Amino acid sequence: MTRDIVCFSHLRWDFVYQRPQHVLSRCQRRMNVHFWEEPVFSDAIQPELRIAEQDSGIMVLTPVLPRGAGAEEAVHLQRELLNDYLGARISGSVIGWYYTPMALQFSAHWEPDVTVYDCMDELSAFLGAPRELLNWESELFRRAHVVFTGGASLHAAKRRQHPNVHCFPSSVDKQHFAAARVAQSEPADQRDIPHPRIGFFGVLDERFDTSLIREVSRSHPEWNFVFIGPVAKIGEDELPRASNIHYLGRKGYAELPGYLSGWDVATLPFAQNQATRFISPTKTPEYLAAGRKVVSTPIDDVISPYGQLGLVEIAGNAAEFSAAIARCLSSRDEDWLERVDGFLGQMSWDKTVDGMLAQIERCALGSVAPAHERVRLESRERA
């Protein structure tokens, strides 16, 4: 019997290659994956569902709605587009895979065979989060057969909200990033930036500690700071600017090792705020796989295990961050890379996906009921 995954995501497939892309690309090798993005708006009168098949076979689905559609109409139109797509394309058993609880607004009437909530971030803490998000998350917890979390701190918070929560920290494609350990042809926009180069790749948003970078770059004009990634939810004018700060924009996943190979130190300059309380940065093991020394602000899921194992430097303020970078630049710790490889040897996205699918299979076989069914059955047993 064919099994399909219909995934609802707040992140666009081609935005930044991260957890959803790693996980679902591997799922596609075993079943059909349909990736539903948030809508875009156009001047067209009639709504449509834009369907783009990726090289992997994943179908990326983008609702295109009339520009003047209000919130309620947008929900109604997406529900109709979803119904049409499910009726035309989906047969056999199906998994509903949610990265965003907000998708229940237009999909709550649908009952997949297994409902998965892959909670990769505490979305309610992000800038601009909808006020009703927590209510929809409670409903998703009620419906879900299984919940995955993207890190240990998020797991500690969510396991109190659902009886079947499993921690699957973001992993790493070691072979992909290990290419950065040998010299590569320099990308044109990085070639003329002097060393030492202190780098970061990722989304530049409210989690990016602009004050930290401003202070460290000012106190060390001899260092050059390279930032790769799109700017989101903050203004370009909020970014620190100096002659030794270089913003190279968004790059494709395949390009990242080429940039990393030319960095002297990689960084995780995250602000200490609500948006970073539960994050588990995928780039931590990616930097390490590239053979780069790493300096991070005190993020719980970086402190444990990476900081505690001495694989990543942890620094709580600008002075400490600067001192940690200086140590990394001068370090000759010969067994560090051996310890990194020993730790990363326990990780792979293939292993992560195998574990996820094993939990889903338990649910599909009837071993695990959704949370609201458990409550009903437990109440009947007590009676």
Min mean pLDDT across 37-41, 54-58, 142-146, 367-371 is at 367-371
Q: What is the CATH number of the domain that holds 161?
A: 3.40.50.2000
- Coil, helix or strand for 76? helix
The backbone torsions φ and ψ at residue 254, rounded to the nearest 5 degrees and listed phi first, read -65, -25
Looking from the CA of 73 toward its CB, the CA atoms found within 13 Å total 10
pLDDT confidence of residue 369 = 66
Do 13 and 103 lie in one domain? The reply is yes
CA triple 247-252-256, angle to 5 deg = 70
Residue 1 has pLDDT above 80, yes or no: no
Structure tokens at 161: 């909200």
Structure tokens at 227: 């930032």
Count CB neighbours of 357 within 10 A: 18
Average pLDDT, the chain: 94
Task: With cut-offs at 50, 70 and 90, classify the pLDDT of residue 372.
Answer: low
Residue 54 has pLDDT above 70, yes or no: yes
Do 65 and 108 lie in one domain? The reply is yes
What confidence tens digit (pLDDT) does each residue in 285-331 have?
A: 999 999 999 999 999 999 999 999 999 999 999 999 999 999 999 98
Residue 48 and residue 66 in contact, taking contact as beta carbons nearer than 8 Å: no
Which residues are 146's β-sheet partners?
116
Min mean pLDDT across 4-13, 244-253, 373-382 is at 373-382
Do 110 and 203 lie in one domain? The reply is no
Do 305 and 328 lie in one domain? The reply is yes
What confidence tens digit (pLDDT) does each residue in 268-279 have?
A: 999 999 999 999
Residue 378 has pLDDT above 60, yes or no: no
Percent of the chain with pLDDT over 70: 95
Do 299 and 164 lie in one domain? The reply is no
Do 131 and 103 lie in one domain? The reply is yes
Task: With cut-offs at 50, 70 and 90, classify the pLDDT of residue 256.
Answer: very high
Do 7 and 119 lie in one domain? The reply is yes
Domain, as residue range, for 247: 174-344
Task: With cut-offs at 50, 70 and 90, classify the pLDDT of residue 370.
Answer: confident
pLDDT confidence of residue 381 = 45
Do 165 and 178 lie in one domain? The reply is no
Min mean pLDDT across 95-104, 163-172, 374-383 is at 374-383
Do 246 and 305 lie in one domain? The reply is yes
Q: Which amino acid is at 143?
A: R
pLDDT confidence of residue 366 = 79
The one-character DSSP state at 186 is P
Do 316 and 276 lie in one domain? The reply is yes
Do 11 and 55 lie in one domain? The reply is yes
Segment 103-118 mean pLDDT: 97
Min mean pLDDT across 100-104, 111-115, 291-295, 364-368 is at 364-368
Report the alpha-carbon distance of residue 341 to residue 343 in Å, rounded: 5
> Length of the chain in residues, anyone?
383
Do 166 and 179 lie in one domain? The reply is no
Task: With cut-offs at 50, 70 and 90, classify the pLDDT of residue 374.
Answer: low
Residue 380 has pLDDT above 50, yes or no: no
Segment 115-123 mean pLDDT: 95
Segment 3-23 mean pLDDT: 96
Q: Which amino acid is at 231?
A: V
Crossing angle of helices 19-27 and 349-364, in 10° steps, is: 60
- Cα 176 to the center of its chain, rounded Å: 18
Task: With cut-offs at 50, 70 and 90, classify the pLDDT of residue 130.
Answer: very high
Tally of domains in the chain: 2
Segment 348-370 mean pLDDT: 90
Instruction: Say if residue 305 is preceded by a cis peptide, omega within 30 of 0.
Output: yes
Q: Which residues contact 381 (CB under 8 A, 6 or more apart)?
A: none
Residue 300 and residue 316 in contact, taking contact as beta carbons nearer than 8 Å: no
Residue 383 has pLDDT above 70, yes or no: no
pLDDT confidence of residue 371 = 66
Looking from the CA of 41 toward its CB, the CA atoms found within 13 Å total 8
pLDDT confidence of residue 45 = 85
Residue 341 has pLDDT above 80, yes or no: yes
Task: With cut-offs at 50, 70 and 90, classify the pLDDT of residue 367.
Answer: low
- Cα 32 to the center of its chain, rounded Å: 21
